[in-house]
Chain A
């Protein structure tokens, strides 16, 4: 047996925009064990429910992450509405669905750019981020915010989208769809990308399921978990199928994300056709008394907001289980047995969001 050495990976590393530390135990160039460490930037945001009223806390829930911010606020208010027995207007449900799919597009394009950049594929990076600007422009035009939208509230949403604007958004998305197709074709069919990703970092179907993998990390291994299928917001009225790949390797996880962008465009188009007229919010009185585990599908997978109230303005508990947090154990398994040079690529294929994990 070769002598074992331990190499620290992160918290500062060129491929890591946020601090994650891995102690990689190596035998020659092979990783034989991994000890992950987070906690460098833990903010304790959950604790703030004790100081902020449940209606104000939406703004804090949204700031858990700077990428899937909208879906955090959506999941939080859904939980509150469920406890309080509120049936919010249908138009608000559709608007939430549209904005959450815009968030997914913006997140996946951000990831595609960062991932391509980490491999030295600069043209894909530039084009992915150029297309992402279009998504952010639409988010800004309809909500007032590019990153933090502040549009979700208990009882509905704060803004409506005019029918003409919705048509314009769908036309805009159709306009970038073929560019996106070209971009993902280049990325997924490039021989050097395939050589770098295929057969690397394989997560079996059983491991993905029982280790708690969610989102593209699970679906890349054939585990068809997509919380949108539970029908929250307007997803129950939309036809879509989760994108699933079966090889379980780095390429499969990338392919899931690339294909999901087209599903998101299709969902937005369906929403624009089906959205009913009507109010976008309702009056809310009282305070939540009860508990609920509210779930939604973020770009990185299932997010859970556990909410517990006792009928007072301040909640007793708000606990967030983010997708990256539950994707850490699968990451440990993915890395065992890989080559040291493959570690950055494998880490990036789970699209870690430490900001979320360190809520």
Chain B
């Protein structure tokens, strides 16, 4: 078995301070990912130092705005643009902001919709 993992819930206001603290403690940014749970969106920030992960989770609504951590970790822009383009969550202050053109998708914010298996015509053939 691999190592157990903990995820700490934080508020939107803590995103940047936690990122600053993570960098100060010598962590690298591993990833930022989003998951749609019902009407909410869970955003998971993952940092790593010496193979130990530190995970923070923020739960927001689609209309909420979250601050960018690209001022702390330059590389965060790829994840933040991805979250914006796939889920429609606005991220404020991204250092390289593609304004919705990072991914060229046929429909806008495709991951903000949950597909119900029964609704899929191909699956039910």
A residues apposed to B, CB below 8 Å: 35, 37-40, 42, 44, 46-47, 50-51, 78, 82, 85, 87, 209-212, 227, 229-230, 232, 291-294, 302, 304, 306, 308, 314, 316-317, 319, 321, 325-326, 328-330, 333
Contact = CB atoms under 8 A, between A and B. Distances in A.
Contacts of A227: 51
Given A42-B103, A78-B2, A291-B7, A316 B37 contact: yes
A312 to B, nearest CB: 10
Interface string B65-94: 000000001110110000001000000000
Contacts of B85: 39
A329 B78 contact: yes
Instruction: Give the most central of B5, B31, B74, B111: most A CB within 10 Å.
Output: B31
A230 B35 CA distance: 26
B105 interface: yes
B9 interface: no
Contacts, number: 97
Contacts of A294: 2
B7 A39 contact: no
A93 B46 CA distance: 27
Contacts of A319: 33-35
Given A87-B1, A230-B3, A39 B30 contact: no
Contacts of A325: 78
B102 to A, nearest CB: 6
Contacts of A321: 30-31, 33
A39 B105 CA distance: 8
A39 B99 CA distance: 13
A106 B36 CA distance: 37
B113 to A, nearest CB: 9
25 contacts: A35-B96, A37-B98, A38-B102, A39-B105, A42-B104, A44-B110, A44-B111, A46-B111, A47-B110, A50-B117, A51-B117, A51-B120, A78-B2, A82-B2, A212-B28, A212-B30, A212-B75, A304-B46, A306-B31, A306-B33, A317-B36, A319-B34, A321-B33, A328-B75, A329-B77
A293 B96 contact: no
Contact of A317 (B35, B73, B96, B103): B35
A51 B123 contact: yes
Instruction: Give the most central of B2, B35, B53, B96: most A CB within 10 Å.
Output: B2
A46 B1 CA distance: 25
Nearest to B75: A329
A211 to B, nearest CB: 5
Contacts of B1: 82, 85, 87
A208 B62 CA distance: 33
B79 to A, nearest CB: 8
The 3 A-B residue pairs whose C-beta atoms are closest, nearest first, are A329-B75, A39-B103, A321-B31
